[in-house]
Amino acid sequence: MSKRSRSLSGTEATPFVYGETNGRAWRQQGERIDLVRRTVRPRITVVRHAQGEVAFDLRRTALAVIDMQNDFCHPRGWFGAKGISVRPMRKPIPVLARVLPAWRAAGGTVIWLNWGVRADLANLPPSVRYKGKRQPQAIGYAEPVPGTGGRAVVPGEWGAQVVDELAIDPADLTVFKHRLSGFWDNELDSILRVRGIDTLVFAGVNTDRCVYGSLQDAAYLGYDCLLLADGCGTPSPAYVTRAIHFLVQQLHGFVIDSDALLDGLPAEGARRPAPKASFSSKEQA
């Protein structure tokens, strides 16, 4: 058998790997470039929801945490300066503080999907600029926030940073967005596909805006979607949240809670008491 026809499992040096190792990388060994995608054993996670159970592969799933940033969740941030109570936006913090370490320990991917506008607003049309400001005297995107001096949701500013209670791990991914949907005009979709991720668990703020907008687009693009209900928050009335839960369950995916998720994680993740038999969407998220 010639050298060229031998398997890469021979005695040559360890192959050099190009790309992610989740079964999707190329390998170079000597003169051979190996394009074969490896089969990776799934890490099956089973989670209860209101209608039963849903199983997914943790290796191919990412927890997408949306807009848990100072400008939305800290009293001194952009929303606080607008006179908006940040209490509903802070509601997910203790839930995510429990979920994130267990999710990472079990081998799950975390993606921080955050607002991040250009300082010159060059790619924000009038419709988006108006909705972020509404009155000439109000504080709009990329404008200084009183008390901090930083420009609202501009990357690098304090307001665009994730709240201190939810520290970003070096292994986490961060993607910025400049629309309600995290899939519009950015690199999120290509990052997920390169990493072989086909399932997303959504959390963050606001339930009925950026979280739902991102979940909808993910579903339209063919991703499997779960909404972490108690890991979301919004200042909108409770009936809006109930409507979002109904629409997700009816059209786009599944609604779960943190107890069910933690209980279903593989052994490496923290275990929690068994979830309730059913999930109530009446709780405001």
CA nearest neighbour of 63 among 160, 169, 150:
169
Residues 6+ apart with CB under 8 A from 43: 57, 58, 59, 106, 107, 266
Q: Enter the tokens of residue 2.
A: 């010639």
Active site residues: 67, 177, 210
* pTM listed for this prediction: 0.88
- CATH superfamily, region 41-264: Isochorismatase-like (3.40.50.850)
Residue-range domain boundaries for the chain:
1-39, 41-264
- Per-residue pLDDT of the chain in tens (285 residues, 90 and over written 9): 444 444 444 445 789 999 876 788 899 999 999 999 888 899 999 999 999 999 999 999 999 999 999 999 999 999 999 999 999 999 999 999 999 999 999 999 999 999 999 999 999 999 999 999 999 999 999 999 998 989 999 999 999 999 999 999 999 999 999 999 999 999 999 999 999 999 999 999 999 999 999 999 999 999 999 999 999 999 999 999 999 999 999 999 999 999 999 999 987 544 343 333 333 333 333
